[in-house]
């Protein structure tokens, strides 16, 4: 039987699209050039974050975290979801007032979070450096294993009838009268009227196949993995420098921040770096060294812990740090689900749900206009 929809990409976003569409009875074929989670979704940390601006991201994050609560029950195997909360830490007293203002503004918009003075911080996390200015606790944040989540979404989609084709690369998309007509792959042609471009950092190349300009580029990030460490080294399983949010806006050089996350198996994943290096996924030892130093500054006990490996992944960066979700104006049946940068693990489920709502004509859970591709051309016209 011909698929109603072909989803391109077996990362967390594509697998979430396949899952939510097949739950609605839509016939889905997912094509992936490698294996499930062989792109960026294998390289992420574990943070389900609820406090990344702007407002539309806050809405996506909250809606997605709520979906995770359901997914952790309904997916076919354990995705290591847990409501851990997260802690953001201010290093220098000079930055405290600005951070406190940001936290109060989030509180005013209904986000559950609490400011922590230095003595609260040290009481909660005695292993942190004693001279940090303070921080905030975000109890709504959570943690998940991104690889298991992606695999579980794919498996659940398959159980609902989705046809998942691995090692199948999309090489072209045939149009007829500005409408999607078929997907060309290394394993043959798949006739269909609808395509979802969930190809992460490769989504611009898929857009080019139909003449749609998608402004998503790769932004590299390094991770340091340590041996398993005792649970009481850090009590909150996600501790990051408050300055992390500033690194999101950096456009040149290597932007670094401390970001310490302990996985269910006890290993620490130490982030984070951001630089634009094209599709180069190699590890830069100088970045690893600087990143380790940043994390040590916040958690001196790391000095006694062994590193077992390092790796780098490519975040799908959209220029305004808001994902692009919706149908392209110029090609009927060409849907875009990309550009999640450093929050695609968080926003994967809501993205899949939104794509399913758009395709099945249901009211969207989150407003779609701020997520449209046309926002970029509208802004250009305004300038």
Which residues of this chain interact with ligand FAD, rule CB under 6 A? Answer: 8-14, 31-34, 38-41, 43-47, 169-170, 198-202, 221, 223, 271, 313, 315-316, 338, 340, 342-346
Query: From the CB of residue 250, how many other CB atoms can be counted at a distance below 10 Å?
Result: 15
Nearest distance in Å: CB 257, ligand FAD? 11
Q: Give counts: helices (H), strands (E), the chain.
A: 10, 19
Nearest distance in Å: CB 108, ligand FAD? 24
Query: Is the bond leading into 54 cis (omega within 30 degrees of zero)?
Result: yes
Nearest distance in Å: CB 17, ligand FAD? 9
Please, what is the angle between helix 55-74 and helix 344-360, to 10°?
90
Of 84 and 118, which has the nearer Cβ to ligand FAD?
Answer: 84
Distance CA 132, CA 111 (A): 24
Nearest distance in Å: CB 69, ligand FAD? 16
Of 134 and 323, which has the nearer Cβ to ligand FAD?
Answer: 323
Of 113 and 190, which has the nearer Cβ to ligand FAD?
Answer: 190
Using only C-alpha atoms, the chain has a radius of gyration, in whole angstroms, of 21
Of 77 and 279, which has the nearer Cβ to ligand FAD?
Answer: 279
Of 47 and 237, which has the nearer Cβ to ligand FAD?
Answer: 47
Nearest distance in Å: CB 170, ligand FAD? 4
Query: From the CB of residue 381, how many other CB atoms can be counted at a distance below 10 Å?
Result: 6
Of 136 and 195, which has the nearer Cβ to ligand FAD?
Answer: 195
Residue spans of beta strands (DSSP E) within 120-162: 134-138, 142-143
Nearest distance in Å: CB 244, ligand FAD? 11
Nearest distance in Å: CB 10, ligand FAD? 5
Distance CA 74, CA 372 (A): 30
Enclosing H/E stretch for 165: strand 163-165
Count how many residues are written for the chain: 383
Of 135 and 344, which has the nearer Cβ to ligand FAD?
Answer: 344
Q: Could you tell me if 46 and 269 are in contact, meaning their C-beta atoms sit under 8 angstroms apart? A: yes
Enclosing H/E stretch for 184: strand 179-185
List b or e across 305-317, with b for residues whose CB sees 16 or more CB atoms inside 10 angstroms.
beeeebebbbbbb
Residues 279, 283, 286, 292: is their CA dihedral positive or negative?
positive
Of 16 and 128, which has the nearer Cβ to ligand FAD?
Answer: 16
Question: Is the backbone of residue 343 left (phi > 0), alpha (psi -120 to 50) or beta?
Answer: alpha
- Mark out the alpha helices in 299-343 (DSSP H runs): none
Of 134 and 344, which has the nearer Cβ to ligand FAD?
Answer: 344
Among candidates 373, 274, 269, 352, which has minimal Cα distance to 12? 352
Nearest distance in Å: CB 351, ligand FAD? 8
Nearest distance in Å: CB 124, ligand FAD? 21
């Amino acid at each position: 039987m011909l698929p109603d929809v072909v989803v391109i990409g077996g990362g967390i976003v594509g697998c979430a699209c396949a899952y939510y569409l097949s739950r609605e009875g839509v016939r889905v074929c997912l094509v992936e050039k490698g294996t499930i989670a062989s792109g960026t979704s294998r390289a992420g940390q574990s943070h389900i974050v609820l406090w990344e601006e702007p407002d539309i991201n806050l809405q996506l994050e909250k809606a997605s975290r709520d979906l995770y609560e359901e997914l952790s029950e309904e997916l076919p195997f354990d995705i290591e979801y847990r409501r851990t909360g997260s802690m953001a830490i201010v290093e220098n007293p000079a930055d405290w007032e600005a951070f406190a203002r940001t936290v109060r503004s989030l509180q005013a918009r209904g986000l559950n979070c609490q400011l922590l003075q230095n003595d609260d911080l040290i009481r909660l996390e005695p292993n942190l450096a004693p001279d940090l200015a303070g921080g905030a606790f975000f109890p709504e944040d959570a943690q998940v294993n991104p690889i298991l989540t992606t695999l579980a979404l794919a498996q659940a989609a398959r159980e609902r009838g989705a046809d998942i084709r691995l090692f199948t690369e999309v090489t072209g998309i045939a149009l007829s009268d500005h409408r999607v007509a078929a997907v060309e792959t290394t394993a043959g042609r798949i006739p269909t009227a609808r395509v979802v471009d969930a190809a992460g950092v490769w989504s611009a190349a898929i857009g080019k196949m139909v003449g749609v300009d998608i402004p998503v580029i790769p932004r590299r990030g390094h991770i340091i993995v340590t041996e398993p460490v005792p649970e009481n080294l850090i009590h909150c399983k996600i501790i990051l420098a408050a300055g992390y949010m500033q690194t999101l806006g950096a456009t040149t050089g290597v932007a670094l921040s401390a970001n310490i996350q302990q996985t269910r198996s006890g290993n620490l994943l130490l982030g984070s770096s951001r630089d634009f290096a094209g599709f180069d996924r190699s590890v830069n030892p100088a970045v690893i060294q600087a990143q380790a130093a940043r994390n040590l500054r916040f958690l001196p006990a790391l000095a006694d812990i062994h590193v077992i490996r390092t790796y780098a992944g490519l975040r799908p960066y959209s220029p305004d740090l808001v994902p692009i979700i919706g149908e392209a104006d110029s090609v009927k049946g060409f849907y875009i689900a990309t550009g999640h940068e450093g929050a695609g693990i968080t926003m994967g489920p809501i993205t899949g749900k939104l794509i399913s709502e758009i395709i099945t004509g249901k009211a969207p859970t989150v407003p779609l206009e701020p997520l449209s591709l046309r926002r970029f051309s509208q802004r250009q016209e305004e300038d």
